[in-house]
Amino acid sequence: MILKTKYFCISILLMAFTFSLNAQEGKVNIEQDRDIDKLLEYKKDVKTVKIYTIQVYNTLDPDKAEREKANFLNAFGTEWPVDTHWNTPNYKVWVGKFATRLEADRALVKIKKKYIDAIILQPKLDKK
C-alpha cells in the first residue's frame, strides 16, 4: 500500500511538472496606437530640459531693478540676455539662459568679479 501511494505521489508530481512547463510557454502581442510612442518621446524630451540662469540682483523696487539691468548691460554688453522677473514681493535681475551647469559656472566666474552675491538658479519653467 505504501509503495502504491509513493508511485501515485510521484506520478502526480510529474504531471504537475509537465503541465507547469507547458503553461509557461506563450506569446504576447501588444497592439497600441502609434501616438503613444510619440507621447512617450515628447515626455522624455520635456523632462530632460534644464535651463540655468544667474541672479545678479534682488530688490523690492522695480526702478532699482531696471537700473541694475542697465548697469549690467553697460558692464558686460549683450553677451548674455538680461531680464527682470517679478516674484512676489521681489524684483530680480536674471542673466543668461544656459543649457548646462558648466556654461552657467563659467559665466558666473566672470560675473562674480562685479556682482559678488550672484548665484546660479534653475528656475521652474512656465507650462504653457
The residue-averaged pLDDT of 52-60 equals 94
pLDDT the model gives residue 128: 43
Average pLDDT over residues 100-110: 93
Strand 82-87 versus strand 52-59 pairing type? unpaired
CB 77 within 8 A of CB 86: no
Cα-Cα end-to-end distance for the chain: 80
Could you give the domains of the chain?
50-121 (3.30.70.1070)
Residue 1 pLDDT > 50, yes or no?
A: yes
State the DSSP H helix or E strand holding residue 63, giving kind and residue range, or none if neither.
Answer: helix 62-76
Give the three cell numbers for residue 122: 534653475
Q: What is the mean pLDDT of residues 82-110?
A: 92
Q: Give yes or no for a cis peptide into 81 (omega within 30° of 0).
A: no
Backbone angles phi, psi at 66, to 5 degrees: -65, -40
CA dihedral for 110, 115, 116, 117, sign (positive or negative): negative
pLDDT recorded at residue 72: 92
How many whole angstroms separate alpha carbon 62 and alpha carbon 69? 11
